[in-house]
């Protein structure tokens, strides 16, 4: 917001907590619609507009949000456009026995001095790492596969709003990232199948009758994966890098 500076006799822009490289929106569904609308601009445009003036957000910029799936009183549902901005949604669940014991140990020793948090990588290094998946090759047949998965969600009679073209792009990007983390320079069908549910499910809006029958978006995506044939791709040894950096 703009804050009045008495010494200068003018308003000055005061950046809020959204001006960070990593923004954690804890229990985002408890934020009022006005706040969610402001966050939508930040996520979609990487900028904030205050009193008609636009301010760019720092790079890299990442939003991580949490919400309690059980308690709904006093919460606001995220609009479809905002959910579409999140690349994926997953459930943390309860910790295992070892993790729960660790929580108790930390609780017992919380008066002890804890180690400080130190950066492990500068922001410029993160930006460089984000460019690595851009070099990962995705076969044309797999690109068609991703598109068909998205289109099948729109054709499903249980779905009111299917996966948008933005959603298919996010699955494409997530598959590339998965291949990078696996040490591969190419995407395989399993990368796409493994990520389809966390990338697609939160983007679906089911019809009322489907919700009454307790159909879940996750179940719809899994059935779509079963319906759409997985394309055959050529072995890794047959991929020869081209002179322009592409692969064939």
Q: Where are the alpha helices (DSSP H) in 122-164?
A: 123-130, 140-155
pTM of the model: 0.81
Average pLDDT over residues 121-129: 85
Side-chain-side CA neighbours of residue 92 (13 Å):
9
**How far, in Å, CA of 144 to CA of 148, rounded?**
6
Rg (CA), the chain: 22
pLDDT digits (tens, 9 = 90+) for 142-157: 999 999 999 999 999 9
Task: Pick the closest to residue 160 from 209, 200, 90 (CA basis).
Answer: 209
Confidence of residue 248 (pLDDT cuts 50, 70, 90): very low
Residue, of 240 and 112, whose pLDDT is higher = 112
Whether residue 240 is predicted with pLDDT greater than 50 in this model: the reply is: no
Residue 248: Cβ within 10 Å count: 11
Q: Please, how many CA atoms are within 13 Å of residue 130, restricted to the half-sphere of its CB?
A: 11
Within 10 Å of residue 1's Cβ, how many Cβ atoms? 9
> What is the structure's pLDDT at 1?
83
Span 10-44, pLDDT tens digits: 888 888 889 998 999 998 888 888 888 888 889 88
Lowest-confidence region among 90-94, 110-114, 205-209:
110-114
Q: Is the pLDDT of residue 49 over 90?
A: no
User: How many Å apart are CA 98 and CA 130, to the nearest integer?
Assistant: 33
Rounded-to-integer distance, Cα 83 and Cα 89, Å: 9
């Amino acid at each position: 917001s703009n804050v009045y500076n008495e010494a200068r006799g003018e308003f000055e822009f005061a950046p809020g907590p959204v001006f960070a490289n990593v923004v954690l929106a804890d229990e985002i569904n408890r934020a009022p619609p006005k706040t969610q609308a402001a966050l939508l601009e930040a996520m979609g445009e990487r900028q904030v507009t205050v009193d008609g003036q636009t301010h760019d957000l720092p790079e890299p910029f990442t939003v991580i949000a949490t919400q309690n799936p059980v308690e709904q009183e006093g919460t606001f549902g995220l609009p479809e456009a905002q959910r579409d901005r999140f690349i994926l949604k997953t459930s943390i669940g309860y910790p295992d026995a070892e993790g729960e014991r660790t929580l108790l140990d930390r609780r017992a020793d919380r008066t002890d001095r804890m180690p400080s948090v130190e950066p492990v990588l500068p922001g410029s290094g993160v930006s460089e790492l984000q460019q690595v998946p851009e070099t990962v090759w995705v076969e044309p047949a797999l690109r068609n596969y991703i598109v068909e998965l998205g289109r099948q969600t729109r054709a499903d009679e249980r779905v009111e709003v299917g996966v948008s073209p933005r959603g298919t792009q996010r699955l494409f990007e997530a598959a590339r990232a998965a291949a990078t983390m696996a040490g591969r320079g190419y995407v395989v069908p399993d990368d796409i199948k493994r990520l389809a549910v966390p990338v697609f499910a939160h983007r679906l809006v089911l019809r009322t009758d489907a919700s009454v029958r307790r159909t879940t978006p996750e179940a719809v995506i899994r059935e779509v994966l079963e319906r759409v044939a997985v394309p055959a791709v050529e072995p890794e040894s047959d991929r020869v890098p081209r002179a322009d950096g592409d692969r064939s």
